[in-house]
């Protein structure tokens, strides 16, 4: 096994990264983290986004902020208690920090690169297989989203001017999900974490390693900010995850070397109270209390 540098979305483009796939989650002991990362670097290419608006600066530290939606009854969180069947609506933003720029920066913001687009997603599980539908949205729409009464009302206004058939289909799917509930579905909670990712050239094996996982309340309606989800979340964390989290996503069976690496690193199935760990559920509980 040998490292191959960085893969791109185009290089892996012959395989749909978001088709139905088997997903496994593990807690990684901190004592094993360095050896696990070294093993992944040897076996697979580090995955780095190189598409439109990609950050090309060297040595980025990747972070993710994810905003989840729910209603006041927390119907989406309750549905996700069924770990084999549950659907989530979320907005995801990727950004990079560059500690190497510290000597040149005049403020901490100069060391951060945020993409001008966010990703609107519907993701979930059906009988143990994950699925994801997503499309890019202009980050400027975040302020409109937070000002709306619900995600449904924002969708009705936003959809009228959209040229993308893909996005129209996603918005229709979200609208159908929201219409099933008696009360409005809106921004509910946020998860923020550092992410390392590896992926094969076919896109059939993807492994992510998340650290610094923290949970926050959703941004308040009408709050002013600098046009990114990272800037919008200014409250102190409501909670955090003590462990590191590893997710293995495969189309088909995981390769033998990956199973061996997981065993050697003493990865344990990511479970809380006998249920598969969910960032959404953990954030919902941290912000609102137990279900």
276: confidence class by pLDDT, cuts 50, 70, 90: confident
Across residues 31-50, what is the average pLDDT? 86
Question: CA nearest 95: which of 137, 121, 66, 138?
Answer: 66
Per-residue pLDDT of 86-115, as tens digits, reads 789 999 988 887 655 555 544 456 555 667
When pLDDT is cut at 50, 70 and 90, the band that residue 6 belongs to is very low
pLDDT at position 163 over 50: yes
Tell whether pTM > 0.75: yes
pLDDT of residue 15: 40
Provide the pLDDT for residue 230: 80
163 or 137, which is more confident: 137
What pLDDT is attached to residue 3? 39
pLDDT digits (tens, 9 = 90+) for 123-160: 876 665 667 888 888 888 888 888 888 888 888 888 77
End-to-end alpha carbon distance in the chain: 45
3-state SS, the chain, equals: CCCCCEECCCCCCCCCCCCCEEEEEEEECHHHHHHHHHHHHHHCEEECCCCCCCCCCCCCEEEEEEEEEECCCCHHHHHCCCCCEEEEEEEEEEEEECHHHCCCCCCHHHHEEECCEEEEEEEEEECCEEEEEEEEEECCHHHHHHHCCCHHHHHHHHHCCCCCHHHHHHHHHHHHHHHCCCCCCEEEEEEEEEEEEEECCCCCEEEEEEEEEEEEECCCCCCCCCCCHHHHCCCCCCEECCCEEEEEEECCCCCHHHHHHHHHCCCEECEECCEECCHHHHHHHHHHCCC
Q: Which domains does the chain have, with CATH numbers?
A: 6-288 (3.20.100.30)
In this structure, what are the phi and psi dihedrals at residue 172, rounded to the nearest 5 degrees? -65, -40
Q: What is the pLDDT of residues 176-227, one digit of tens each?
A: 999 999 999 999 999 999 999 999 888 889 999 999 999 999 987 656 555 6
pLDDT at 1: 39
For 23, phi then psi, to 5°, come to: -125, 135
């Amino acid at each position: 096994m040998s490292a191959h540098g960085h893969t791109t979305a185009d290089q892996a483009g012959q395989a749909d990264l978001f088709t139905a796939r088997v997903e496994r989650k593990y807690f990684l002991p901190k004592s094993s983290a360095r050896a696990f990362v070294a093993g992944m670097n040897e076996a697979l290419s580090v995955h780095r986004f190189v598409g439109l608006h990609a950050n090309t600066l060297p040595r980025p530290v990747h972070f993710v902020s994810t905003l989840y939606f729910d209603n006041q009854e927390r119907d989406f969180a309750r549905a996700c208690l069924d770990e084999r069947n549950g659907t989530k609506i979320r907005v995801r933003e990727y950004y990079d920090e560059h500690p190497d720029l510290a000597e040149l920066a005049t403020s901490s913001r100069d060391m951060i690169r945020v993409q001008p687009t966010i990703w609107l997603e519907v993701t979930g599980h059906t009988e143990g297989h994950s699925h994801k539908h997503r499309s890019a949205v202009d980050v400027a729409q975040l302020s409109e989203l937070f000002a709306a009464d619900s995600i449904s009302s924002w969708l009705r206004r936003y959809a009228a001017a959209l040229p993308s058939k893909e996005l129209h289909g996603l918005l229709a799917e979200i609208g159908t999900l929201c219409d099933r509930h008696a009360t409005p579905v809106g921004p509910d909670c946020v998860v923020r974490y550092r992410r390392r990712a590896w992926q094969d050239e076919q896109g059939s094996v993807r492994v992510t390693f998340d650290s610094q996982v923290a949970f926050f309340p959703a941004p308040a309606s009408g709050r002013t900010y600098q046009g990114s989800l990272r800037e919008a979340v200014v409250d102190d964390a409501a909670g955090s995850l003590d462990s590191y989290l590893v997710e293995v996503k495969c189309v088909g069976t995981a390769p033998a070397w990956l199973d061996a690496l997981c065993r050697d690193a003493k990865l344990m199935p990511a479970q809380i109270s006998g249920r598969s760990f969910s960032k959404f559920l953990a954030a919902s509980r941290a912000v609102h209390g137990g279900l």
